[in-house]
């Protein structure tokens, strides 16, 4: 179970064989992987090679046929009856992090203000790109997503790569601000 992930293609449903062939082409695994289809267009994938497993979790963001592929480590708590994944690995960008903080322990500490850090981008590790720090973190989509963190009393905006349906009104994943029920209810209460 230590080399197993659960994936879901957001916004599109494709056949098992087409999905498996596409994954093989874009991930180019060193070893074999075994895939099982589950309810709600989820797939469980077990890798024979631990490097392939790590690459699946933090090598993305992965795009399949123009749609985002969510990836999460397999867990006994995973429920394929949920229409959207709860916890996934997502790449984030933290804007305007000062160059002096581009040291791995500091970047990890900053990233863990959001959630558990899975990987630091190579350009961030090498401090070759200064516009943003880029990290792969575990993100709990059932909770409000953070849009900003404070480091040394300065705000730093957070961008979530490959998560197209973020409501910047309520901070939750799965809908846009224009479709937010929470905001509509708040407007009704005001009137």
- Parallel, antiparallel or unpaired: strands 4-9 and 67-73: antiparallel
Give a yes or no: residue 78 inside a domain.
no
| Residue 162 belongs to a domain | yes
Residue 42 is assigned to a structural domain of this protein:
yes
Residue 37 lies in a domain: yes
How many independent structural domains does the chain possess?
2
- Within 10 angstroms of residue 174's Cβ, the number of other Cβ atoms is 14
Domain termination site, one of 73, 100, 133: 73
Task: Specify burial of residue 101 (Cβ count, 10 A radius: 0-12, 13-18, 19+).
Answer: middle
At 37, list the tokens. 């289809």
Chain segment 142-156, per-residue pLDDT in tens: 788 888 899 889 999
Q: What does residue 54 show for φ and ψ, rounded to 5 degrees?
A: -60, -40
Together in a domain, 20 and 63: yes
Which structural domain, as residue segments, surrounds residue 134?
87-166
The reported pTM is 0.67
Q: By the 8 A CB rule, do 60 and 69 touch?
A: yes
The answer to whether residue 190 sits within a structural domain is no
- Residue 87: what pLDDT? 75
Order the strands of the 42-47 sheet from edge to edge: 33-37, 42-47, 4-9, 67-73, 62-64
Residues 69 and 107 in one domain: no
Whether 98 is covered by a domain: the verdict is yes
Distance of CA 46 to the CA centre of its chain: 19
Task: Establish if 136 belongs to a structural domain.
Answer: yes
Read off the pLDDT of residues 96-121 as tens digits, 9 standing for 90 and up.
888 778 888 888 899 899 888 988 88
């Amino acid at each position: 179970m230590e080399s197993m992930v659960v994936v879901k293609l957001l916004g599109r449903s494709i056949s098992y064989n087409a999905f498996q062939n596409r994954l093989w082409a874009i991930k180019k695994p060193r070893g074999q992987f075994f895939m099982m289809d589950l309810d709600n267009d989820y797939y469980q994938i077990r890798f024979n090679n631990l490097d392939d497993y790590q690459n699946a979790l933090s090598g993305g963001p992965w795009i399949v046929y123009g749609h985002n592929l969510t990836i999460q480590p397999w867990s006994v708590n995973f429920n394929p009856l949920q229409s959207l994944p709860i916890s996934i690995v997502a790449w984030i960008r933290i804007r305007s992090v000062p160059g002096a903080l581009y040291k791995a322990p500091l970047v990890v500490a900053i990233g863990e203000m959001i959630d558990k850090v899975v990987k630091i981008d190579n350009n961030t590790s090498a401090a070759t790109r200064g516009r943003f720090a880029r990290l792969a973190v575990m993100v709990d989509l059932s909770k409000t997503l953070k849009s900003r963190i404070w480091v040394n009393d300065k705000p730093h905006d957070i961008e979530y790569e490959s998560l197209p349906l973020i409501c910047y009104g309520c901070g939750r994943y799965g809908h846009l601000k224009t479709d937010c029920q929470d905001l509509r209810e708040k407007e009704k209460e005001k009137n």
